């Protein structure tokens, strides 16, 4: 296990469960979401379809206000998949998260998202399905 995962599991993950979540809808493109600044994390929970959950999700995050003095960080958890990105420059990221555990009960669990920045910053966000994605 690398140091980033150890840091996240010890410092980042516990904080996710002591804050209120803002629920976001799956496959909706959100504009003008805002961070709190001071690297205080906004916590989001993206609710997936429990009956027919996507096998893989694509996460898109975009902020134009990122500078060397205003770093922007995002952590996304779905099942056992964790994506954590920090940037000090113009910021756009997209990534696909999937899990080898394909039981519907597990795939239908909410996606947990943490977003923080040094200064109050607006950003855009979307979680969508990846069509025809198969592991193995």
- pTM (predicted TM-score): 0.74
Predicted confidence at residue 31, as pLDDT, reads 93
pLDDT of residue 51: 80
CATH class of 3-129: mainly beta
Residue ranges in the chain whose pLDDT is less than 70: 1-19, 87-106, 134-136
What would the DSSP string read from start to end of 47-108? EP-SSS--SEEEEEEEES--BTTB-EEEEEEETTEEEEEEESSSEEEEEEEE-S---HHHHT
Q: Domain spans of the chain?
A: 3-129
Q: pLDDT, tens digit, for every residue of 52-78? A: 888 788 888 888 777 777 878 889 888
């Amino acid at each position: 296990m690398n140091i980033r995962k150890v840091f996240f599991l010890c410092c980042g993950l516990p904080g996710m469960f002591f804050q209120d979540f803002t629920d976001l809808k799956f496959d909706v493109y959100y504009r003008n979401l805002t961070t709190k600044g001071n690297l205080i994390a906004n916590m989001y929970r993206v609710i997936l379809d429990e009956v027919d959950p996507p096998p893989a999700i694509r996460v898109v995050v975009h902020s134009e206000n990122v500078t060397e003095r205003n770093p922007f960080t995002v952590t996304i958890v779905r099942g056992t998949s964790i994506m954590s990105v920090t940037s000090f420059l113009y910021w756009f990221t997209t990534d696909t998260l999937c899990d080898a555990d394909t039981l519907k009960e597990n795939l239908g669990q909410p996606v947990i998202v943490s977003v923080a920045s040094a200064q109050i910053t607006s950003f855009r966000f979307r979680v969508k399905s990846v069509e025809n994605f198969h592991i193995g």
